[in-house]
Amino acid sequence: MARIGFYSGSFDPVTIGHTDVIDRAARLVDKLVIGIGVHPAKAPMFSDADRIDMLKAETRKIAKATDTKIEIVTFSDLAVVAARRNGAEVIFRGLRDGTDFDYEMQMAGMNGAMAPDIQTVFVAASPNVRHIAANLVRQIAAMGGDVSAFVSPAVAKRLEGKAAKRT
């Protein structure tokens, strides 16, 4: 039986911090489902379709290198519900710092109460990407800054295009 993991986020945009967690999570499962949270109250910079395209492009090499099937889905309900719907037995959560840890511990406890059969596994971000946050990347890009240290060249180009449209 295939071991399935679930990793969720807004991925607006996908950063090298996200792909760091995806790469390491993929090494622990046979299939990794990446869930893009879609919430009507939020106005993301990138459309759902754009985020799916970016994630597919950014994870292609990871899937091949780890021999893991990677599937991209969207969801608008609870992440733990989406994980269950996709057959996951583990939810991966990336940790950058102590603030993330405190929040993620609470979330793991709540998810564990709702779905005790689904385990949460924390993946500590690699030291070279711990400082990266998608919201800061969006702000830097919107102000014309260089985001090349935080995202792949393909994502940087998409961000540049979005920033140009806003000016």
Q: What is the mean pLDDT of residues 120-136?
A: 96
The CA distance from 2 to 26, in Å, is 13
* pLDDT interval class at 164 (50, 70, 90): low
Query: What is the pLDDT, as a whole number, of residue 166?
Result: 57
CB 50 within 8 A of CB 86: no
What is the predicted pLDDT for the residue at 165?
Answer: 65
Listing DSSP states for 95-139 in one string gives E-SHHHHHHHHHHHHHHHHH-TTSEEEEEEPPGGGTT--HHHHHH
Residue 17 has a pLDDT of 97
**Gyration radius of the chain over CA positions:** 16
The answer to whether residue 167 scores a pLDDT higher than 60 is no
pLDDT at 39: 86
Identify the DSSP state of 11: -
d(CA 59, CA 152): 11
Written in H, E and C, the secondary structure of 38-53 is CCCCCCCCCCHHHHHH
Which pLDDT tens digit goes with each residue over 141-159?
A: 999 999 999 999 999 999 9
When pLDDT is averaged across residues 32-40 and rounded to a whole number, the result is 94
Q: What is the mean pLDDT of the chain?
A: 95
The overall pTM is greater than 0.75 = yes
Domains of the chain: 4-128 (3.40.50.620)
Q: 73 and 35 in contact (C-beta within 8 Å)?
A: yes
